[in-house]
Amino acid sequence: MLSTLFEQSKKGRRAVNFPKAKTEPSKKLPAKFLRTEAPRLPEVSELDAVRHFTKASQLNYSVDTHFYPLGSCTMKYNPKAHFWAALHPKFTTAHPLLPAWAVQGTLRLLKELETSVLEITGMDAMTMAPAAGAHAELTGILAAAAYFKDKGEAQKRKKIIIPDSAHGTNPASAALGGFEVVTIKSDERGRINIEELKSHLDDSTAMLMVTIPNTLGLFEDDILEVSRLVHEAGALIYMDGANMNALAGIVKPGDLGVDMMHINFHKTFSTPHGGGGPGAGALLVKKNLEDFLPVPRLAQRKDGLHLIESHPKSIGRIRSFNGNIAILIWAASYLASLGEEGIRKVSRQAILNANYLRVLLKEAGLAPFKDEPCMHEAVFNVDPKELNGVKTLDIAKRLLDFGFYAPTIYFPLIVHEAIMAEPTETESPETLEEFARAVKTILEEARSNPETVKSAPHNLPVRRLNEVEAARNPVIRWTPN
């Protein structure tokens, strides 16, 4: 286990010596701002500090070092060329409060990104201000509320229908936006249960929130019928488009009857995974919802690009400045390097890889939740009764011993003992085969020597942690004795 720098500290040991201050700071600052005792900083040499951080970095799991089959989270490789573009000093030295005329180059890039994303999704207008997918969802919910208010229907349309396979952020965003959440069960095919949907659709329905492909990795193949029914009831379709990495270049949600949707730049366009920010999401809408989008809005005028700061129907600002620009430049660079055909290839490859992994894991002994071709991710369930009591969690922990990041487990919630694997498009067949071999070995161990699996991990700096205690009582700060 790596000790902290505080534990390594030796009184008087130094990496840098600062010259003595010419003026005593206590003479310049009001007394109430002065410390009464020196801060407890670690005292180490430069080499101690370098070794400490180098060793700490080597303990990291990352896409750059390991296969990361985390379903739903889409841990895509982030090509370094796009990082280089985002870090270009011409971008990084621009202050966020500079007027639009002084940052025309950056705005043009954002406009090009907007045009590409609208083309890929078949939607009409968008904002790239949200800091993450979940933030874009909340922005969409607030825009929908403003839309119904404008139509004089805000009082009656209070209900948002969400399938039980949805990502937890969907009901959370709907509730935060002041709506009542109605959960509908998926049918035996893992898709929206149309009969149950019909039974809830009425003039109190504001919206159906649907994820496509859904969190079981399946395409909602009844979506045209679903959108017809929802629109007949006067409600809107919100598509959680976080999984667009399976559709980009193949299906345009705008053609499916979707009124509003979000995308996660990190899941689809290869920016680092924000995890609730500081990433970037985009909310995309059809023409009739455009006025309700947040400000500032990017607008092309004769004399160049402008950031429109107000609109009478807009829900207003949802974050500071103009979005997470560095991340957006990264995404723009990714899209520009791929082009239309490239983006289609990425989606196809993501689907192909997920299906190859689905078949490999099935052959290794895991039961697919739905034994049919999937989109970008595949879900399996484990039966501890058949594995001497070995559970999904045990398999995930044992995979760490084999040098793999564990797939997503216990999600979607509707799948008992779920394992959800998403390889993404950049993994080679050999990596997927190696992963499947590890799963096969673990399942064999579960049958012959279950204790090895139940007590894993064995090869990591820390063994099994008390995760409940860690979640309920997180100790995230080192405290001196």
Among 106, 116, 205, 243, binds ligand PLP (CB under 6 A): 243
Among 171, 249, 281, 365, binds ligand PLP (CB under 6 A): 281
* In contact, 318 and 130? CB cutoff 8 Å: yes
Contact segment (CB under 6 A) with ligand PLP among 86-94, 275-283, 366-374, 416-424 equals 275-283
In the complex with ligand PLP, the residue whose CB is nearer, 267 or 370, is 267
Radius of gyration of the chain (CA): 25
Q: Which of residues 192-221 bind ligand PLP (CB under 6 A)?
A: 211, 215
Q: Does 133 bind ligand PLP (CB under 6 A)?
A: yes
Write down the least CB distance from residue 72 to ligand PLP, Å: 4
Write down the least CB distance from residue 274 to ligand PLP, Å: 5
Please report how many Cα atoms fall inside a 13 Å half-sphere around the Cα of residue 168, on the Cβ side: 6
Among 171, 190, 272, 274, binds ligand PLP (CB under 6 A): 274
In the complex with ligand PLP, the residue whose CB is nearer, 141 or 453, is 141
The site string for ligand PLP over 369-408 (x = CB under 6 A, - otherwise) reads: ----------------------------------------
Q: Mind giving me the DSSP string for 280-324? A: -EEEEE-GGGGGGSPSPEEEEETTEEEEE---TT----SSSTTS-
In the complex with ligand PLP, the residue whose CB is nearer, 210 or 442, is 210
Contact segment (CB under 6 A) with ligand PLP among 60-68, 276-284, 293-301, 451-459 equals 276-284
Q: Does 240 bind ligand PLP (CB under 6 A)?
A: yes
Among 253, 279, 296, 323, binds ligand PLP (CB under 6 A): 279
For 265, the enclosing helix (H) or strand (E) is helix 265-268
Whether the upstream peptide bond of residue 296 has omega within 30° of 0, thus cis, is yes
Q: Does 123 bind ligand PLP (CB under 6 A)?
A: no
Q: What is the DSSP letter of 131?
A: S
Contact segment (CB under 6 A) with ligand PLP among 191-199, 225-233, 273-281, 366-374 equals 273-281
Write down the least CB distance from residue 50 to ligand PLP, Å: 33
Q: Does 264 bind ligand PLP (CB under 6 A)?
A: yes
Write down the least CB distance from residue 4 to ligand PLP, Å: 30
In the complex with ligand PLP, the residue whose CB is nearer, 76 or 157, is 76
Q: Which of residues 426-465 bind ligand PLP (CB under 6 A)?
A: none
Q: What are the CA-CA distances from residue 55 to residues 10, 64, 356, 377, 428 (Å)?
A: 20, 16, 36, 33, 28
Greatest Cα pair distance in the chain: 79
Q: Which of residues 140-179 bind ligand PLP (CB under 6 A)?
A: 167, 169
Number of amino acids touching ligand PLP (CB under 6 A): 19
Q: In whole angstroms, what is the distance from residue 284 CA to residue 271 CA? A: 18
Strand arrangement of the beta sheet that strand 408-409 belongs to: 367-368, 378-381, 418-421, 408-409
Task: Please list the residues that pair with 420 across neighbouring strands.
Answer: 379, 408
Q: In whole angstroms, what is the distance from residue 266 CA to residue 242 CA? A: 9
Cβ neighbours around 326 below 10 Å, total: 17
In the complex with ligand PLP, the residue whose CB is nearer, 409 or 446, is 409
Q: Mind giving me the DSSP string for 384-438? A: GGGGTT--HHHHHHHHHHTT-PPPEES-STTSTTEEEE---TT--HHHHHHHHHH
Q: Does 289 bind ligand PLP (CB under 6 A)?
A: no
Q: Does 278 bind ligand PLP (CB under 6 A)?
A: no
Write down the least CB distance from residue 273 to ligand PLP, Å: 7
In the complex with ligand PLP, the residue whose CB is nearer, 191 or 391, is 191
In the complex with ligand PLP, the residue whose CB is nearer, 134 or 442, is 134
Write down the least CB distance from residue 71 to ligand PLP, Å: 9
Q: Does 130 bind ligand PLP (CB under 6 A)?
A: no
Between the two ends of the chain, the Cα-to-Cα distance in Å is: 19
Q: In whole angstroms, what is the distance from residue 121 CA to residue 333 CA? A: 18
Contact segment (CB under 6 A) with ligand PLP among 11-19, 99-107, 130-138, 156-164 equals 130-138
For 58, the enclosing helix (H) or strand (E) is helix 46-58
Orientation of helix 133-150 relative to helix 169-176, angle to 10°: 40
Of all residues in the shown chain, the one whose CB is closest to ligand PLP is 133
Contact segment (CB under 6 A) with ligand PLP among 128-136, 228-236, 357-365, 428-436 equals 128-136
**Backbone dihedral region for residue 236 (phi beyond 0: left; psi -120 to 50: alpha; all else: beta):** beta
In the complex with ligand PLP, the residue whose CB is nearer, 133 or 249, is 133
- Nearest of 155, 383, 121 to residue 255 by alpha carbon: 121
Q: What is the DSSP letter of 263?
A: E
* In contact, 396 and 382? CB cutoff 8 Å: no
Which residues of the chain form contacts with ligand PLP (CB under 6 A)? 72-73, 132-134, 167, 169, 211, 215, 240, 242-243, 264, 267, 274-276, 279, 281
